Structure 1
Amino acid sequence: MHPQYKADKPIDCPICSMKLVKFEPTPNGENKPMDSMPGMDGSSSSTSSQASNNTIYVDPQRQQLIGVQFAKAITKPLSKELRVVGKVSFDETKITHIHTKVTGYLENVFVDYVGKPVKKGDPLFTIYSPDLVATEQEYLLALRSNKELSKSSFEEVSFGSSSLLEATRKRLKLWDISDKEIEELEIEGKAKRELTFYSPVDGIVTERAAFGHGKFVNPEMDLYSIVDLSTVWIIGEVYEYEMSFVKLGQTVEIEMPYSDKKSLYIGKITYIYPVMDAKTRTAKIRIECKNPQYTFKPEMFVSMKIKINLGTHLVVPEDAVMDTGEEQYVFVD
């Protein structure tokens, strides 16, 4: 604005097109210099006695030149949003390892590749175990003996035969022989050369060491790893300065940034790891999420948003805050 141009009504300046403002003289009839603003030179005037040390006066013309704007301080609810990158992982509580409790040799392998889905009760493989066959024969012998000696007039004899039968039965059960298979053994009356092992859970085969006919196996070998992917863990990393906002049980919005379908999935923070990464200065959090359609696959990267309620506070526009590096302040009209 050009202060030398004056008008008797509010119009635009014909030189610079800025709106003219109403002229209002200072209390002493003179324009007040900006001597009390940090960094401005000027002598004090009589108005300083009417204002406190942290009060400055800027005349309307100068306000127009520097583009001063006014906004009301209001009370409103505040929220904060944390954006976290996460990686999908197995739910470690739903990983099942398949072992045999006897030594033997593989005969047939029904689950023959990694990634194959299995249901609880599906056959995995059959095994020939000389120890198991011998125990089955002992059980059949104890069963026949118990039938003959259970009616003995000597109590010790009948008790001993029943005890032997029960001990042999327990040995079979300790080797994971089901009641159904023991019942079939009793009906057929002869030992089976092969024993079939079944899947104890629903899931996806992620590791396999049962290969081919004749492979020797023992209880130390991990023949299969089966993982239930209906629930997955997502491991996210949160910066150290944001950790104070993260709490157990918070709801997390999850999305796959490279997916055509911008679908949101909901998870919850179930664990906050107690160790900080010294290199990245981040801490890990664990989010548990349902995965009924196997949309999330282990090692997949996802984006997550954590919305935090900060409560109701008095707020001003962000541009109104002056930051000196050591403190923040605003000007109040």
Structure 2
Amino acid sequence: MNRIMWIAAALAAGAALATGGYWAGTRHTAQPATAPVSKTERKVLYWHDPMVPGTRFDKPGKSPFMDMQLVPVYADEAQAAGVAIDPRQRQNLGIRYATVRRAAVADALKLVGTTQFDERLAAVVQSRVTGYVERLEADAPLQRVRRGAPVATLFVPDWLAPQEEYLALRRAGDDALAAAARERMRALSIPDALVEQAVRTGKPQSRLVLTAPASGVVTELAVRAGAQVAPGMTLAKIAGTGKLWLLAEVPEALLGTVRPGMAVTATAGTATAGDPARRYTGKVAEILPGVSTATRTAQARLELDNADGTLVPGQLMRVQVGAAAPAARLVVPAEAVIDSGKRSVVLVVGDGDRISPVAVTTGRQFGDDIEIVAGLSEGQKVVASGQFLIDSEANLKSALNRLGPTAPPALEGTGVVEDVSAEALMLSHGPIAALQWPAMTMEFAKPAPGAFADVKPGQRVTFTFHQEKSGYVLDSVTPVAGAAK
């Protein structure tokens, strides 16, 4: 019995120890554990679709372009982007930096044009009778004439009989018939001044002097001495010179900045240092419809004041349109902008002299500078010039490939062939680290319609590819031996 009680006491003591240990363990583990916090938490700058890296998003989600999730771009990755240039290589390549700055520039267009006569000031010298040209006072084209000066003298034989009849009736004292004869002479376009002269001299007048209706230059001369003229026939055309038209060539891209009514200032293109350029003022009359397919320019018709007659048609003029007060604009050297036709790119110099391309929106060019509307901020450094920048963007890319210490990583992946067509392969591939792509299914173009003829749907393959403007093009496709879909 004592033994049984001893065993029971021992079991009770063990249970008590176990229970105490449980509660002690419970109290110990119930205290919250403090997890280590990373002191260098990565900052996300933005999210993007690796297939369309130029479009940025401010929050994660599904790409609107591909069936995949947007990929974050971290601050430390952005800072490491670009190509570092050794100072010695920079000197050898002739690379020069410039600072993005604000400059006060006048919002004025500088154009080139030629002068011509203002057709609205043109006047004509016409005959209202049948006769013959007895003498020409203005006998050569481009001859200057003044208003009221004689241009031609006509002999009109049909005027003789009516005037003799009128003079005879006056001498006979028949006032009624004389008045009727006077009306017939007016109907025959015999001027009253000639009739009065016939009355004074007693002899009929048969010569009519045609005068210039306006001052200007004879641009057309349709008759010569001795020629017969008829009513309504134009003998000469006179162009006024008080104002001239100036046809200025406006680039197609700047048509929206030129409007009728804008003030213009023009100077002759032949001015020299010893002969200061004379300034002529005027305004934009209208923009002529149509763009030249050869020069991609339209013509703006400008009106210039030429009261002193110093301008002549055909002169080459330099024109400034819409000269406004200077305004502060963000500018960089024009040679720093690489224009591919589809976009404009500037190479920005970041920390550690690392160069990265940045797409920008450009505005007007002011001399050697060009306005930056979007893409850059004041104070940034950009690549302003280098011998490889002068030729083309292709030369630039080939030179930048020599600046980096290593070649860019190869574009390669592994996937399963989903579909085969004459132009492309549809591949379900795994992640591609070089482009930060996750696993996805997409189409890759073939380099030629007959390429990879042995590749069939369902095969697992390894492949290499490169990027072109039209998309991603396969370089090689190698089936994985013994692999199944």
| TM-score, scaled to structure 1 | 0.65
Q: Is 284-293 or 317-326 further displaced after alignment? A: 317-326
Query: CA separation in 2, counterparts of 1:52 and 1:134?
Result: 103
Would the aligned equivalents of 1:245 and 1:308 in 2 still touch at CA under 8 Å?
no
One-letter amino acid of the structure 2 residue matched with residue 148 of structure 1: D
Query: CA separation in 1, counterparts of 2:97 and 2:245?
Result: 52
CA deviation after TM superposition for structure 1 residue 280, in Å: 3.0
Q: Is 219-228 or 135-144 further displaced after alignment? A: 135-144
1:318 aligns with 2:332: yes
CA deviation after TM superposition for structure 1 residue 309, in Å: 4.4
- 1:167 equivalent among 183, 192, 213: 183
One-letter amino acid of the structure 1 residue matched with residue 375 of structure 2: Y
State the partner residue of 1:87: 114
State the partner residue of 2:316: 301
Query: CA separation in 1, counterparts of 2:331 and 2:209?
Result: 72
Query: CA separation in 2, counterparts of 1:216 and 1:332?
Result: 77
Q: Is 119-128 or 129-138 further displaced after alignment? A: 129-138
One-letter amino acid of the structure 1 residue matched with residue 315 of structure 2: M
**Would the alpha carbon gap of residues 169 and 70 (structure 1) be closer, same or farther in structure 2, given more than 3 Å must change?**
closer
- 1:183 equivalent among 172, 196, 206: 196
State the partner residue of 2:290: 275
State the partner residue of 1:330: 376
**Would the alpha carbon gap of residues 246 and 304 (structure 1) be closer, same or farther in structure 2, given more than 3 Å must change?**
same
**Would the alpha carbon gap of residues 68 and 105 (structure 1) be closer, same or farther in structure 2, given more than 3 Å must change?**
closer
SS of 1:276's partner is coil
- 1:110 equivalent among 111, 115, 137: 137
CA deviation after TM superposition for structure 1 residue 282, in Å: 2.1
Would the aligned equivalents of 1:236 and 1:285 in 2 still touch at CA under 8 Å?
yes
- 2:153 equivalent among 103, 111, 126: 126
Query: CA separation in 1, counterparts of 2:250 and 2:40?
Result: 56
SS of 1:249's partner is coil
**Would the alpha carbon gap of residues 232 and 247 (structure 1) be closer, same or farther in structure 2, given more than 3 Å must change?**
same
Q: Is 116-125 or 93-102 further displaced after alignment? A: 116-125
CA deviation after TM superposition for structure 1 residue 89, in Å: 0.6
CA root-mean-square deviation: 3.9
Would the aligned equivalents of 1:81 and 1:307 in 2 still touch at CA under 8 Å?
yes
**Would the alpha carbon gap of residues 217 and 251 (structure 1) be closer, same or farther in structure 2, given more than 3 Å must change?**
same
Query: CA separation in 2, counterparts of 1:107 and 1:332?
Result: 78
CA deviation after TM superposition for structure 1 residue 52, in Å: 4.9
In terms of Rg, which structure is larger?
2
Query: CA separation in 1, counterparts of 2:97 and 2:137?
Result: 79
CA deviation after TM superposition for structure 1 residue 93, in Å: 1.6
One-letter amino acid of the structure 2 residue matched with residue 330 of structure 1: L
State the partner residue of 2:42: 48
1:195 aligns with 2:208: yes
Query: CA separation in 1, counterparts of 2:124 and 2:114?
Result: 23
CA deviation after TM superposition for structure 1 residue 254, in Å: 1.0
Query: CA separation in 1, counterparts of 2:151 and 2:165?
Result: 26
Structure 1, residues 165-190: CA drift from partner, whole Å, max 9, x if none? 45324314xx3x44333322232233
Query: CA separation in 2, counterparts of 1:222 and 1:52?
Result: 78
Structure 1, residues 246-294: CA drift from partner, whole Å, max 9, x if none? 0111111211222332222222111222333344332221111122343
**Would the alpha carbon gap of residues 138 and 277 (structure 1) be closer, same or farther in structure 2, given more than 3 Å must change?**
farther
Structure 1, residues 193-216: CA drift from partner, whole Å, max 9, x if none? 32222222222223323423x332
| Bigger relative contact order (CA 8 A; separation at least 6) | 1
Would the aligned equivalents of 1:253 and 1:267 in 2 still touch at CA under 8 Å?
yes
SS of 2:164's partner is helix
State the partner residue of 1:255: 267
State the partner residue of 1:28: none
Would the aligned equivalents of 1:138 and 1:168 in 2 still touch at CA under 8 Å?
no
Write out aligned runs for 1:228-247 (5 A): 228-247=240-259
CA deviation after TM superposition for structure 1 residue 233, in Å: 0.8
Would the aligned equivalents of 1:108 and 1:127 in 2 still touch at CA under 8 Å?
yes
SS of 1:131's partner is helix
**Would the alpha carbon gap of residues 218 and 70 (structure 1) be closer, same or farther in structure 2, given more than 3 Å must change?**
closer
**Would the alpha carbon gap of residues 139 and 316 (structure 1) be closer, same or farther in structure 2, given more than 3 Å must change?**
same
Q: Which structure has greater strand proportion?
A: 2
State the partner residue of 1:15: none
**Would the alpha carbon gap of residues 308 and 166 (structure 1) be closer, same or farther in structure 2, given more than 3 Å must change?**
same
Q: Is 196-205 or 317-326 further displaced after alignment? A: 317-326
Unaligned runs of 5+ in 2: 1-37, 47-73, 91-95, 337-345, 349-356, 362-373, 380-485
CA deviation after TM superposition for structure 1 residue 96, in Å: 1.7
SS of 1:277's partner is coil
Would the aligned equivalents of 1:88 and 1:300 in 2 still touch at CA under 8 Å?
yes
Unaligned runs of 5+ in 1: 1-43, 150-157
Would the aligned equivalents of 2:131 and 2:230 in 1 still touch at CA under 8 Å?
yes
Would the aligned equivalents of 2:130 and 2:156 in 1 still touch at CA under 8 Å?
yes
State the partner residue of 1:3: none
State the partner residue of 1:264: 279
Query: CA separation in 1, counterparts of 2:123 and 2:186?
Result: 24
Query: CA separation in 1, counterparts of 2:42 and 2:230?
Result: 95
One-letter amino acid of the structure 2 residue matched with residue 196 of structure 1: V
CA deviation after TM superposition for structure 1 residue 58, in Å: 6.5
Would the aligned equivalents of 1:77 and 1:310 in 2 still touch at CA under 8 Å?
no
SS of 2:289's partner is strand
One-letter amino acid of the structure 2 residue matched with residue 97 of structure 1: V
